[in-house]
Chain A
Amino acid sequence: MSGESKRIRAPFDDATARSLRAGDRVLISGVIIAARDAAHKRLVETLDRGEPLPVDLRRAVVYYVGPSPAKPGQVIGAAGPTTSGRMDAYTPRLIGQGIRGMIGKGYRNPEVVEAMKRHGVPYMAAVGGAGALIARTIKKYTVLAYEGLGPEAVAALEVEDFPAIVVIDCDGNDYYEQGQAPYREI
């Protein structure tokens, strides 16, 4: 990991997505899309029915988050990442719809990594359990679809210097593995 964080813009263009390397620290500004378990299920069911998606996922950076409710005067409540692996069953389909980045926490399965390599999609981790800290980087929260899902609704998050670390890059390099190896004794 380099000492300095890279400042990048979302949605990602091709050059941004491919420039990120496993271990890079990034600060993301722009718009990212919040979607987690129930939203993923509905999006894929929509595709299964041959219907158009309610949101445009081309170039999107998807953030696996289900925020706690905002208090009056707040943009959003705590908003840290949820475990990405639960999205794995749906992710290759959504990558096929044009997603160019993902933010969550935890391991991904080989099918997801293959789809990432094929389509040039990096996976980033935000600090799990740092929901209050991360909320400060979220400037606007706008529900785009599935409002009835409450914290699981699909939403646009306007972010400024949202902190993350690239854990799997477009070539499949894995920083969980690289980071742990030097300290692994058993």
Chain B
Amino acid sequence: MRDIQATAITRAVADLAVRACCKLPRDVYESFRSSETTEPSPVGRNILRQLIANADIADTENMPLCQDTGLTVVFADLGQEVHIVGGDLEEAVNAGVRRGYVDGYLRKSIVSEPLFERKNTGDNTPAVIHVRIVPGDALRLRLAPKGAGSENKSVLKMLTPADGIEGVRKVVLDAVKAAGPNSCPPLVVGVGLGGSMEMAAICAKRAAARDLDSRNPDPRYAAFEEELLTMINKTGVGPQGLGGRTTALRVHVEWYPTHIASLPVAVNINCHAARHAEIVL
């Protein structure tokens, strides 16, 4: 067994929150720059240049890229040899969110319940935490703040096997078209296939939070990622929905075995900032 202090988790989460909200990931930055050279629309190129300038300012001034610093999604891969001491994982993560959002001048965007009072919790807690118990003695924390403009356009459809790959293409295309300018394109689109209803959604969320230059390890799915990207970039939506061929920067697909009668499809739309930060303790 290896001990990890709860306070170390809290400190790590606070750092990740500020880093994810203020520092555009390098791979996203490079993707803006390469899109700026290939985008045929002058308006689109102008938008991409503004996004590059925005990332530079946020970096220099250590201020958020976007005022919507999101709902804090945390993926925790917890080694089964790890023993958390001085607290529990959930509270340690939430204490980190609290510290990161309050001390880091990030916006608090969480209401305590969804339907009646909708009162702001004041510190952006609670986070949405996805825990996986994995082999080993390390704790991997990946934090992906998620803004509502893109999250609100995410979609889940329970297709049947006969709908096949054509059905999947249509769900993805319809989602991107419906999102239009609202979700701040160019997008990173996470597609989750298979599993059960909730597993498809979690796969889509993990896909949307992947590093930009990652590919699905299965060559068939990697090719499908490319195909979906090409398809999306033919919609004409373009940067900020003002027209162009850079509607998405990447499409990522994650999948899980599923029932003989099911083909769940989840599409998690992410905005151009595609914020994520990771640490291994």
Binding site for B on A (CB under 8 A): 1, 65-71, 74, 77-80, 82-83, 85, 105-107, 125, 127-133, 135-136, 150-151, 163, 165, 167, 175-176, 178-186
Contacts and interface: CB of A to CB of B under 8 A. Distances in A.
B106 A68 contact: yes
Nearest to B244: A183
18 contacts: A1-B43, A71-B63, A80-B67, A82-B67, A105-B149, A106-B149, A107-B241, A125-B181, A125-B240, A128-B271, A129-B272, A131-B65, A133-B57, A176-B243, A178-B243, A179-B43, A183-B41, A183-B245
A175 B245 CA distance: 16
A85 B259 CA distance: 38
B53 A105 contact: no
Contact of A129 (B43, B241, B273): B273
Contact of B68 (A82, A85, A125): A82
Contacts of A83: 148-149, 152, 182
Contact of A78 (B65, B149, B242): B65
B231 interface: yes
A130 B50 contact: yes
Nearest to A184: B236
Q: For chain B, what secondary structure do more than half of its interface residues adopt (helix, strand, loop), or is it mixed?
A: loop
A131 B57 CA distance: 10
Contacts of A176: 180-181, 241-243
A80 B147 CA distance: 12
Interface string B42-86: 110001001101110110010111111100000000000000000
Nearest to B247: A183
B195 interface: no
B256 interface: no
Question: What range describes how many residues of B lie at the interface?
Answer: 35 or more
User: Which 4 residue pairs are nearest across A and B when measured between Cβ atoms?
Assistant: A179-B243, A184-B236, A106-B182, A183-B236
Given A106-B181, A107-B182, A132-B58, A180 B238 contact: yes
B175 interface: no
B268 to A, nearest CB: 17
A39 to B, nearest CB: 14
B109 to A, nearest CB: 8
Contacts of B241: 106-107, 176, 179-180
B50 A127 contact: yes
Given A67-B107, A176-B180, A186-B173, A135 B53 contact: no
B181 A133 contact: no
Interface string B258-273: 0000000000000111
A165 B242 contact: yes
A165 to B, nearest CB: 7
A180 B243 contact: yes
A68 B238 contact: no
A181 B108 contact: no
Contacts of A130: 50-51, 53-54, 66
Contacts of B107: 66-69, 77-78, 151
A78 B180 contact: no
B181 A71 contact: no
Nearest to A149: B120
A78 B107 CA distance: 9
Contacts of B168: none
Most buried by A among B50, B53, B54: B54
Interface in B154-176: 173
Contacts of A77: 63-64, 67, 105, 107
A127 B180 CA distance: 14
Contacts of A133: 50, 53-54, 57
A48 B240 CA distance: 35
B93 interface: no
Contacts of B132: none
Most buried by B among A106, A135, A136, A181: A106
